[in-house]
Chains A and B, each alone.
Chain A
Amino acid sequence: MPEKKITLSVSVNGVVHTATVEPRMLLSDFLRHELGLTGTHVGCEHGVCGACTVLLDGRSARSCLTLAVQADGVEIETVEGQGSIDRLGRIQEAFRQHHALQCGFCTPGFIMAITDMLRHHPLESDDQIREALSGNICRCTGYEHIVNAVRELAKERGPLT
């Protein structure tokens, strides 16, 4: 049953939003239905598929397993912050070049997970890349083109310092 609403303030892609929500509201629902940022998708609501992955203070997290109120004061990054149709971000561009998406539903979650990976994981071999990607499910591509995109991005980044 609905409980007393709570006010939270979050930064999403650099824009601060203040809202009052039920404490049980999922962060994924908050982003999608309260803020209208529908680029973040919900594939399983169990934290298994990774489609809803966003960054919370720079680290990847499942927005379907996070309550919106837990994100109070947190800096959130979503796929909308990566680039726009006329100016795709680097990961988005690599996905397009390598045909690393088909239906596109899982793609925002992959892009956000890869953002974290590129910041924090060595990604020196295909095995490491596949291991890092294994928290996200894609049903269309068979992963090979996604691996190709990440390999290129990791090479471009160079070794982690």
Chain B
Amino acid sequence: MSLSDHSVELRPKLVGQRVKRTEDPRLLAGVGQYVDDMAPAGMLHVALRRSDQPHARILNIDVGGAFSVPGVIAIYDASDLDNDVTPAIPTSRMPDYYATPIWPLARGKVRYVGEPVVAVVAESRYAAEDALEHITIDYEPLPFAIRQIDAVKDDAPLLHEEAGTNTIIRREFKRGDVDAAFESAAVTVKGRFRMTRKTAVAMENRSYLAEWDPRKQALTLYTSSNIPGVIRDVLSGCLDLPGTRLRVAAPDVGGSFGGKGSLYGEELLVCALARKLKRPIKFISDRLEDLSATSQAFDELIGAELAVTQDGMLIGLRADVIGDVGAYSIYPWTAALETVQVVSFLPGPYRMEHYRGRIRGVLTPKPPTGPYRGVGRPSSTFAMERLIDMAARKLCMDPVEFRRKNLVNAEEFPYRTASGIIWDKSAFQECLAGACAHVDYPNLLLERDEARRNGRWVGIGLASYAELTGIGSRISVAPGMPINTGTETSKIEIDATGAITAAFGIASHGQGLETTLAQVIVDELGCKLEDIEVKHGDSALVPMSSGTYASRSAVLGGGAATLAARVVKGKVLRAAAYLMEQSIDDLDIHAGIVTSRNSNRSMTLKEIASAVYSQMGRIPRNQREDLAASETYDPYLGTACSSTHLAMVEVDPETYGVKVLRYVVAEDCGKIINPMIVDGQVQGAVAQGIGAALLEEIVHDDQGQAVAASLADYLVPVATNVPDIGIVHIEADLPNNIGGFRGMGEGGTIGAPATIANAVSDALSHLDISVETLPVTPERIFQMLQARRDPAAAVTD
């Protein structure tokens, strides 16, 4: 290490510190700006009449007396917008795939309850909703198959006739000779696993506001999206507007968890109407609309079986999965995103040679499934980790020991899984050991056994998993998808006042990236945190952007920030060397002050910026450089973020309610930028996973109607449902990307459902009950007990 490097190392770094968030003051003071907080002059409101039919032909729309409501400006159905927009097409390179077109309003027929059919534009939302009451839509009901098990059949009624089938996704992964592995196996276990349909439930509902600028003939869409760059690019085509006349910006966004991470017809709608009516148009989803028309999640039937040797080594895995993708393939991710990841991640973090995983993605008359925190992996981890526990139980092995034997070991990295995913070196074994050490596992077993002797139904469950994060251009985030998710751009500029603007393509919506990316820049550039403004969530900031999703922003944004900050730092030091008459090698910059090791001279960034920009002739014209840089980072491959979760739960023998007594997460997310924020992400994601395991469920009845109409029906965890989470950070070998970061925002939601399912199964093991459907509600436990007692009376899901 050189002398100058040594001096750099002595400086306090911000990466790794619990830096308080720069986002907080505005949000805490109630002066954040979410889309619904904006009210430009002349703004009109849209309310939507949505389908109350799961599958029906639209015969007639009668607006009745709707125009008699004071304040109503216009009423539109799909036919009124024919000349205003073209549909978004979620294309894919996957074979045998059908891309369902996405229009603002239903055309000809409706395909799920909640699909927008008629838009009323009025001076107030109250007036627009009043007008909806006057509108009558005549439907001719069409046959439908609401369950994927029926929709997948050859003779099932078709939702999109043009597709010729309901099965719009087919994919198979295989390696080795899995059938032979099963023939040679000492022990096999199998199950039929189901994570029921969920929805993201961000606390801010989806919100859109489009403004038409008649002077520039330009459109701005303010959206609660977490992918404003993707939305700009697709809308440019749908609206035939170049990027110079189309800006998509996400101001403060009240959470997404994936639900705001796809294109919605309502985004197309407000843009088309703002251009048509030449007035600002706002649409704010209410909670019922959110529950019935925001993208939903999971909903696969996973038939899976595992082959194991007598000494507990995994040798083969077979799975046949039917994913219920809802009525449309979503843009840009397509219906392959959730479904294909279930089978590509199913082998998990384990060493296993033989695998065959098949998926069929099937259209049903329900809202489309799309990204939701964890994507595919909550389901795959649930199925695989249940199988692991079932196999361990059958072999009378401890589930920890069983996992220890089969997790990929340090010397085996990089490890190529049976589905082709490559795990770079990550702390698989250390996370397992770390979680067990945190709870004193042997002692916890004794505690459990003691509780059981007192008649309590107590159980312990674990889950180990790995996920691919921070993915570069080598792999699409969703298979075959047409957009670029593998690069991120950072544009850093020091202006004439010495203030620093760092612009990104990411779109933070609760993750605190304004703070964490500033921490990275402070360390690289040597400036002060308070001098940096991080800008994001606006398509106008960098030439191409996508947003924040798929655990990418710390890895890709942090990498791009590092590259750009290094270039800017070089320019600052070159200017300072000239101005201070020093050799560049003798200069350091820290806290916004350039100092020389050979003299007492120093200059602030502000002084340097002033000299460069504002003082003519201070620097010779052939040496003068703007203190700015734009750099794009592509990590090419992704990096594995790994974790083990461990929980102890208690089932009430009278109410069948499940209480989570203990919970610990041991995770390897590489170098931690801000431990406070990482803890918050883990806690929040685990809470969502506990919700998925115990509470949350979107139910469509046989008539195709969604049963949950409010948050009193669709239950998300409240403070009494979630325990304190023990967190063990394991920073083993850093991944081979700039910064050494791994993405970690989704992991909690991946590990928790499986962990809780294993713990509840353990708690009910004396009753010979195995949890194979989540959420494991009191009702489901009751039904499983009934089925044990009286198999003839069993009710199945």
Chain A positions near chain B (C-beta within 8 angstroms): 1-2, 22, 24-25, 32-33, 36-46, 48-49, 51, 78-80, 82-86, 88, 92, 95-97, 99, 101-108, 111, 126, 129-131, 133-147
Contact = CB atoms under 8 A, between A and B. Distances in A.
A104 B202 contact: no
A37 B30 contact: yes
Q: Choose among A33, A44, A108, A135 the residue with the greatest number of B CB atoms under 10 Å from its CB.
A: A44
A148 B69 CA distance: 50
A101 B28 contact: yes
Given A44-B710, A139-B201, A146 B719 contact: yes
B343 to A, nearest CB: 29
B203 A38 contact: no
A52 B69 CA distance: 29
Contacts of A84: 29, 31
A142 B204 contact: no
B287 A44 contact: yes
Interface string B8-31: 000000000000110111111111
Nearest to B712: A48
A5 B28 CA distance: 34
A45 B286 contact: yes
- Which of B254, B682, B712: most chain A Cβ within 10 A? B254
Contacts of A88: 25, 28-29
Interface in B710-755: 710-712, 716-720, 722, 724-725, 748
B596 to A, nearest CB: 36
A143 B203 contact: no
Contacts of B254: 41, 103-106
A interface majority secondary structure: loop
Contact of A51 (B70, B203, B512): B203
A42 B204 CA distance: 8
Given A43-B204, A51-B203, A102-B510, 12 more contacts: A1-B130, A22-B126, A39-B31, A42-B36, A49-B287, A84-B29, A99-B676, A105-B34, A108-B30, A130-B720, A140-B684, A142-B685
B30 A79 contact: yes
25 contacts: A36-B39, A39-B29, A40-B30, A41-B254, A43-B287, A45-B286, A79-B30, A82-B30, A83-B28, A84-B29, A85-B29, A99-B677, A103-B27, A103-B202, A104-B28, A104-B254, A131-B720, A136-B719, A139-B203, A141-B680, A142-B680, A142-B687, A142-B722, A142-B725, A145-B679
A58 B30 CA distance: 19
Nearest to B687: A142
Contacts of B24: 95-96, 101, 104
B686 interface: yes
A46 B680 CA distance: 28
Interface in B174-197: none
B205 interface: yes
Interface in B63-119: 69-70
Query: Which size class do B's interface residues fall under?
Result: 35 or more
Contact of A137 (B27, B682, B683, B716): B716
Nearest to B257: A139
B509 interface: yes
B265 interface: no
Contacts of A80: 29-31
B130 to A, nearest CB: 6
Given A106-B203, A138-B203, A95 B28 contact: yes
Contacts of A133: 718-719
Given A103-B255, A140-B684, A41 B34 contact: yes
Contacts of B688: 139, 142
B120 interface: no
Contact of A139 (B28, B680, B716): B716
Interface of B is mostly: loop
B252 interface: yes
Given A48-B711, A103-B254, A79 B680 contact: no
A91 to B, nearest CB: 9
Interface string B688-710: 10000000000000000000001
Contact of B26 (A82, A85, A102): A85
Contacts of B201: 139
Interface in B34-51: 34, 36-37, 39
B722 A143 contact: yes
A20 to B, nearest CB: 15
A141 to B, nearest CB: 5
Contacts of A92: 28-29
Contact of A142 (B20, B127, B684, B711): B684
B511 interface: yes
A137 B711 contact: yes
B303 interface: no
A146 B252 CA distance: 21
A145 B680 contact: yes
Given A38-B37, A140-B684, A46 B204 contact: no
Best-surrounded residue of A48, A105, A141 (most CB of chain B within 10 A): A105
Contacts of A126: 724
A144 B725 contact: yes
A107 B718 contact: no
Contacts of B685: 142
Interface centre among B29, B679, B680, B686 (most CB of A within 10 A): B29
B32 interface: yes
A139 B205 CA distance: 12
B122 to A, nearest CB: 12
Contact of B27 (A33, A40, A104): A104
A145 to B, nearest CB: 6
A70 B390 CA distance: 59
B253 interface: yes
A104 B686 contact: no
A137 B510 contact: no
B680 A99 contact: yes
Contacts of B30: 37-40, 78-80, 82, 108
A92 B202 CA distance: 22
Nearest to A104: B27
Contacts of B70: 2
A71 B534 CA distance: 41
Given A105-B255, A139-B688, A96 B683 contact: no
B204 A103 contact: yes
Given A102-B511, A105-B254, A140-B255, A134 B676 contact: no
Interface in B250-268: 252-255, 257
Nearest to A112: B30
A130 B29 CA distance: 24
Contacts of A136: 718-719
A103 B680 CA distance: 11
Contacts of B203: 41, 43, 49, 51, 103, 105-106, 137-140
B574 to A, nearest CB: 37
A43 B682 CA distance: 23
A141 B683 contact: yes
A62 to B, nearest CB: 12
Contacts of B717: 142-143
Contacts of A143: 683, 687, 717-719, 722
B701 to A, nearest CB: 21
Given A46-B712, A85-B31, A147 B719 contact: yes
Contacts of A111: 28
Contacts of B684: 102, 139-142
A79 B29 contact: yes
A24 B364 CA distance: 39
Contact of B21 (A24, A38, A79, A99): A99
Nearest to B682: A142
Nearest to B718: A134
Contacts of B204: 41, 43, 103, 105
B510 A48 contact: no
Contact of B28 (A41, A51, A107): A107
Most buried by A among B70, B205, B748: B205
Contact of B719 (A42, A51, A96, A134): A134
